[in-house]
Structure 1
Amino acid sequence: MRIIAVAIAWTRCHPSFRFVSAYDLWEGWREVCFSSERANIIVHSWEPPPNGMLKLNFDGACFGNPGLAGVGGLCREDSGKVLWAFCGPIGECNVTEAEVKAAFQGLKTIRRDSLKNLIIEGHSLNVIRWLKGGVVPPWRFLALFDEMEEIIADSNIELNHVWRSANEKEDLLARRGVGSDFLRWFDHLPP
């Protein structure tokens, strides 16, 4: 009852505020869900990078939240040829941490191989936003993002958010990584 009294008092001080009833919410959702106009569904798939560039796609997988997790990534040339791929376990964590660690592993490899002119794609919108800057990542990831931002600054890297359908192979690698004993490297797409 106290919450209702506070809400009523607050609305008297803020007359432009309007409570939304359950009926109003239903009407809005009904319009969206049962509209005769349907949006065109666009299937997003992996596209090769422009000539002279490389593309790294990364993904993290987690069985449970938190649960056992793994990372995976794939770096390809403009012809689609795989330069390298990785997958491996990262212990128990949540899915956001798995995505962050997958991006971190991919960027560490970019630094190790002194690669420049890359496009990095992932389907975790939060991780891509955090990497682009302007949005501060959670404090527990700050050290990883400091190192990743340094790698990005040293290279010509474009960051893109993609739909899960454009990251299918990386998703399979990350899932495979959950069951692995250690981080594995490939110079081809593993079967």
Structure 2
Amino acid sequence: MQDLINMLGQQVQRLELFEVVAWFIWSHKNRLRLNKKGLPSENFFEAAKTYLSNYQAKRSMSRMKQPKENTKWQPPMEGIYKTNYDGAVFIESGEAGIGVIVRDARGEVITTLAEKILYPGSVEVLEALAARRATKFAVELGLSSSILEGDSEVVYRALQASNWRHSSIGEILKDTVSMVGSLRTFSFSHTRRQGNNAAHALAKRAIVSFPLLVWMEHVSPNVSPFVISNLSFDE
């Protein structure tokens, strides 16, 4: 606790962060008392910063008076598949989920994947891992052409510009670029969360994966509503 106070004492206006870290410690203690796995103590600070940052971002968005843009999933061209991916963090268990969904030009589901992994320490790294897993999945399926789409602008811009050699996600994106070369044609695409909600629901579904679940030509019930709503795209 003294280390926590010293660490936060070096930050400016970090009372909220202190409270979140303290809550993480309290939650971790309770999970250990119940013989449940908790987040490693060395990850408390980074996980708390991520949690607080996401909360503040959502709070800021809720205060905005301007109407939100209604982003919808858009189908690929005929003969090309779209592979959407996303990640989700399970703070209390120190784990994370990766969701991948492959659809054709009619919006029909080819296959989906939900995989549980250890939380890598940051959302940026998690999204990079999701992009790599989606690429590997597309290659494993034997797809010849695919658009790889996620809602992380950081990962998308890095993949587009190959600006990853000296970043924290450089090696992961290097693997992604290497694998995607196995496809005859490919491209990277970015969408907002609303346009990626099926992949996000799959990522959250991964919390009950052991550690991997794959569905062929259908999805789990909690993901179906998002897939159905996506079928209402504009012609």
Give yes or no for TM over 0.5: yes
Q: Report how many residues are paired.
A: 156
Residue type at the aligned position of 1:99:
E
The match for 1:166 is: 195
The match for 2:89 is: 62
Residues 29-81 of structure 1 deviation map (CA, whole Å, 9 limit, x = unaligned): xxxx99xxx86642101111111110000000013399421100100011111
- 8 Å contact kept, 1:61–1:178: no
Taking only aligned residues, the RMSD between alpha carbons, in angstroms, comes to 2.4
Structure 2: distance between partners of 1:163 and 1:182: 27
Structure 1: distance between partners of 2:80 and 2:86: 20
Alignment of 1:182 with 2:211, yes or no, is yes
Structure 1: distance between partners of 2:67 and 2:77: 27
Structure 2: distance between partners of 1:66 and 1:181: 14
Unaligned runs of 5+ in 1: 1-32
Which of 138, 149, 164 is the equivalent residue of 1:136?
Answer: 164
Residue type at the aligned position of 2:220:
P
Which of 101, 122, 143 is the equivalent residue of 1:115?
Answer: 143
TM-score for both structures, normalised by structure 2: 0.60
Residue type at the aligned position of 1:128:
Y
Residue type at the aligned position of 1:151:
M
Residue type at the aligned position of 2:71:
H
Alignment of 1:85 with 2:115, yes or no, is no
Alignment of 1:152 with 2:160, yes or no, is no
Structure 1: distance between partners of 2:67 and 2:80: 31
Q: What SS is found at the alignment partner of 1:154?
A: coil
Residue type at the aligned position of 2:176:
M
Unaligned runs of 5+ in 2: 1-62, 222-235
* Larger RCO: 1 or 2 (CA < 8 Å, sep 6+): 1
- 8 Å contact kept, 1:130–1:137: no
Which of 126, 133, 141 is the equivalent residue of 1:98?
Answer: 126
Identity, in percent, stands at 26
Q: What SS is found at the alignment partner of 2:171?
A: helix
- 8 Å contact kept, 1:90–1:178: no
- Seen in structure 2, the aligned counterparts of structure 1 residues 189 and 138 have a Cα distance that, compared at 3 Å, is farther
- Seen in structure 2, the aligned counterparts of structure 1 residues 178 and 54 have a Cα distance that, compared at 3 Å, is same
Which stretch shifts more, 70-79 or 176-185?
A: 176-185
TM-score for both structures, normalised by structure 1: 0.72
Which is richer in strand?
1
Which of 148, 152, 173 is the equivalent residue of 1:124?
Answer: 152
